[in-house]
Structures are given as structure tokens and as C-alpha cells.
Structure 1
Amino acid sequence: MTKVSALRPWAGHARALALAGDRQGQWGVISALLEEAFGHKLFTALLYLEEHRLMKRLYTSDESISPLGGFKATGNGPWSRLVLEEGQMYVASNEDDVRTVFSEAPMLIERGLQSAFNIPVRHEGRVIGSLNMLATRHAYDDVDQDLAAVVAGLCAPVFIEEIKDAQSAAAGVDRSALDSV
């Protein structure tokens, strides 16, 4: 008799990620993994280019809310310090929390996105990106941060590949015209 592993669902996602034929396929697998693990109404992936102090949206599950591409400057706000500099996970429980972090908070709240869970992704000790999920109020209050750390590790190779593509584009960005977080 074969014992069923508690890791079976996550192993299935890890296999699917390893077998995805292109970047879009990889992001689709990551979105499905995050949906199963934590749930989300909106998932975005942001690449962090520390040396340029820029972020780039790599994936979104809904472009009408959160369009792809372009760069956003990082600032000295609480979210940037916590997630990007300290590498800590961020949980927004309700509308007030969302308003303190997201410049587009009114639009997010209007669409029923009153909570957030942001998972930093690291490589060689540095934060290289963030997996960002939004959902209804209090959706992430009791989230399993150990599982989130495992998921971030599975996703790191996809971010590493994206860094290679974004470095040269970031060098030419005029930061004065960008929104910041």
C-alpha cells in the first residue's frame, strides 16, 4: 500500500512549473499554485531590481485592474521597507490596511479587493520580486507563512530568468515620471 504524501498537491505544482514550456505557462502554474494554497481574486508578480530601485509587473491575473509592463519606482514607504528591504511577508487585513500601502486603493476596494498577501521572493539573500495576492476582507489573516516561503522558493527561478530580460530596459528608465510604492 502506497502512503499518500501531504505534499502531493504542492509536488504536482512543482512538476508542472518545471515542465511549463514558456514564461506565460510558468506564470499560469504559479497563479494556480497560489490560488490553491491561499486563494486570490487578483494575483500579480513584481520583479524588483534593487540596483535601480525599480519594480516591473511581470504577471497579472486581471489586466483591467493591474496592467502588465512598465516600471514603478520604489520609495521609503512601509511596504517597500518591509517586503523589499527586510524580505518580510506583508498581510493587509482590510480596507484601512490597503489604503496605507496601495496608491490605487480606492479602485481595488471598489472591486472587492480589501485584503492582500505579499510574499517576497529571494535569490542569493536578496529580494528579487514579490508574489502579490488580493482578495476579500480578512482573507489572509491566518495564512500559512511556512507554505508561502516554500512557494517563494519554487518561484525564484522564474524571477531569475525575468531579471535577465529587465536589466537593460531598467537602465534607461526616467524615474522622475514614475509612480512609487
Structure 2
Amino acid sequence: MSTEPVRRVAAALAAPGQPGSGLAALDVALADSVGHRLFTVLVLDEARGVSRRAYTSQPEAYPVSGEKPLRRDSEFYALVARQGLPRFCRDRGDIIRAFPDHELILSLGCEAAVNMPVRWDGRTLGALNLLHAAGHYTEAQLPALSLFAALAVAPILHILGEEGR
């Protein structure tokens, strides 16, 4: 992976307009380096027991919306939130099993996904969610995804109101 996408994200994070400009730069960098048809950022507020979509590359189909209760019995929560591991959905069947809104996801041409945890100080703050064609995501992309997830810490902390913590 070229260092140019990382440099552009770092520059965007240093500029005014956070967290929007930083998350938009992450969107572009991830599209260029890993690829996606849909990119969202999910923020987890464990203390309040809710999650919310804080960023989306397709606001018409997946708007930034209100809060939803955390589904602590879900595979996403077990892997991504609790264990801090990425979750791969490799094909249409995985998407159908993993997402209650799979019909919308499939209608966008997305038959694969990776949910990459964004972690800070031993806890998961949220996730970078990338969706694309079947078979697009593999473990070989984890180094790049891990780097971009680390760059997402500051914007998510800002969203959670913990920038001074």
C-alpha cells in the first residue's frame, strides 16, 4: 500500500472541520486502497447501550441516523465490540445471515463486508464497515484496515465527546 492515502488522512485530521473532514478522508483513502461500494462508521456508546451511524458514503441509502440499542447477543458484538476482531462476510449468504437490512445491502451490489473494530485503550469505540462485491475482502487487507482503524480513533473519540480524556 502506498503511503499517500495515509498522508492525506493525516492531513485531513489536522485540518479544521472535525470529525467530518477526517471521516471523509478515511472514506476516500479506503476506497483507493482497499475498495468499497459502501462505507460507514459505527460508533458504540457502551455506557448508554446504543450505537449510531456517524458517517456514510451513501447518505441516500444509508443516512447518518439516530441511535439503536446495542445488540449484545449478535455476532458483530461478540467479535468486533467485545473481542476486537474484524468480522468478514464473504458472500451473499453471509450478508443475509449477518444483516437484518440485507435486502438493501444486496440491492447496492454489496455481497461482502468487513467490520473493522476501532479500538482505544483496550476497548472498542466503533467500527469501520466496508461493503463490496462477493469475495472482495480477505485477511490480506488487515494491515491496511488496521492502520486506517487507528486513524479513526480521534474522530470517534470526538464524536463520543471524549477528546479531552
- TM-score, normalising length: structure 1: 0.82
- 2:66 is aligned to 70
Greater shift in the superposed pair: 56-65 or 136-145: 136-145
Query: Is the counterpart of residue 26 in structure 1 residue 22 in structure 2?
Result: yes
The structure number with the bigger radius of gyration is 1
Q: How many residues align?
A: 161
Report SS of the residue matched to 1:139. Answer: coil
- 1:173 is aligned to none
Report SS of the residue matched to 2:138. Answer: coil
- 2:112 is aligned to 115
Aligned alpha-carbon RMSD (Å): 1.8
Extract unaligned runs of 5+ from structure 2. Answer: none
Query: Is the counterpart of residue 46 in structure 1 residue 42 in structure 2?
Result: yes
2:141 to 140, 144, 149: 144
- 2:54 is aligned to 58
The answer as to whether partners of 1:17 and 1:30 remain within 8 angstroms in 2 is no
The answer as to whether partners of 1:44 and 1:131 remain within 8 angstroms in 2 is yes
Extract unaligned runs of 5+ from structure 1. Answer: 166-181
2:96 to 71, 87, 99: 99
Query: Is the counterpart of residue 37 in structure 1 residue 33 in structure 2?
Result: yes
Q: Distance in 2 between matches of 1:83 and 1:19?
A: 29
Q: Distance in 2 between matches of 1:21 and 1:51?
A: 27
**Structure 1 stretches of at least 4 aligned residues deviating more than 4 Å after TM superposition:** none
- TM-score, normalising length: structure 2: 0.89
Q: Distance in 1 between matches of 2:140 and 2:111?
A: 15
Report SS of the residue matched to 2:161. Answer: helix
